[in-house]
Amino acid sequence: PLALGWCFVGLALMRRRSGTAKAVLFNLAFFALAFAAIEAYFAIPKPVQRDRDPEGDHQLHDVLGYRPVPGVIPDHKRYRDETIFDVTYRIGEDSLRITPDAPGDLPCVLFFGGSYGFGLGVADDETFAYRVGLAAIDRFRTYNFSYNGYGPHQMLAALESGLVDRTIECEPRHVIYLAIGNHLMRVAGLAAWDPHGPWYELVDGELIRRGNFDDQFRVRAAQQIRRSHLGEQVVQVRSGREPERHARLYGHIVAAAGREVERSYPGAELHVIVWGDHAPDGRVVLESLAEHGLKSHRLSKIFPDYAENRDTYRVSPHDSHPSAFAHARLADYILAEVLASPKP
């Protein structure tokens, strides 16, 4: 409405001007009209819709940026009239998605990641963290620190701040982080949903936590730009370019998390599972991990038939998150290749 208003103002003033002034007012009115048209286009409801308010599901947190509110979170996603998924997430008092109860004197497995690790689109007992916990209930307790939109910077912040220690009641033996290519831009503070996330920076080759992303002017400015639909599209395009720019920071963050695991929990080891290693940004993730000597498990090795049966491993053709089938297969792999491996 504001852009249209400026368009009409420009056209009205043109009637009283001539020459250069009239040309300037015409161009301003044209650009205002074009901006209004673009805003209207992006405001048109898209075929894929979520019947929930994600911002109401979590709360600000100075260590992690945000975290889920304990309780029950319903989530319904649809493509036009077709339901993609209709599930409920149960979040415990520790702000973690539930996993099976196990005896308190057992060692444990910790899971980190974003929505792929959290299990967006699948039921509580269908996530690979839950399935691992159920299958190994007589050997391990499990904690799922993953949440929608998280990256490795949340993992590092949780570990080095002592948040993990204050949450768990066990001695970790295995720490598993599920990585995706999108985590490259998340560590740089380019995710629209994570303006208050933990801000890490490399200073003379040393990784330092500076505070939170919104302590930076550029992040606050981007938040204002994103208030328009066009601004959101521009920021998204810029954020998705050149994943290599953020690879160095990404690698240092994951490596620091690995060192924190070894320091805090002697005998434990960080395992990184790379989902989407066939994609360009997935290959960048693998290269970054290799530069730091980090152990990684490739999706293409875990699911060698993924390319031929992609839809079987996805919640829906309209949503790339792992399906219940994919979670089950991944749990089987972790049980066989990670938990069954000898202690480092």
pLDDT of residue 80: 82
Hey, is 297 helix, strand or coil?
A: strand
CA-to-CA dists, residue 212 to 66, 68, 154, 165, angstroms: 11, 18, 11, 21
Structure confidence by residue, pLDDT tens digits, 261-305:
999 999 999 999 999 999 999 999 999 999 999 989 999 999 999
Mean of per-residue pLDDT scores for the chain: 86
Closest CA to 122 of 172, 149, 169, 85: 85
State the pairing for strand pair 319-322/314-316: antiparallel
pTM of the model: 0.83
| Residue 21: band (very low, low, confident or very high) from pLDDT cuts 50, 70, 90 | low
pLDDT of residue 42: 44
Rounded Cα distance, 44 and 83, in Å: 20
The sign one gets for the Cα dihedral 282, 213, 207, 266 is negative
Rounded Cα distance, 27 and 69, in Å: 49
| Residue 229: band (very low, low, confident or very high) from pLDDT cuts 50, 70, 90 | very low
The radius of gyration of the chain from alpha carbons, rounded to an integer in Å, stands at: 23
Rounded Cα distance, 16 and 13, in Å: 6
Residue type, 109: V
| Rounded mean pLDDT, 224-246 | 59
Contact 129, 160 (CB under 8 A): no
| Residue 343: band (very low, low, confident or very high) from pLDDT cuts 50, 70, 90 | very low
| Residue 91: band (very low, low, confident or very high) from pLDDT cuts 50, 70, 90 | very high
Contact 134, 183 (CB under 8 A): no
| Residue 244: band (very low, low, confident or very high) from pLDDT cuts 50, 70, 90 | confident
| Rounded mean pLDDT, 157-165 | 98
Rounded Cα distance, 198 and 246, in Å: 15
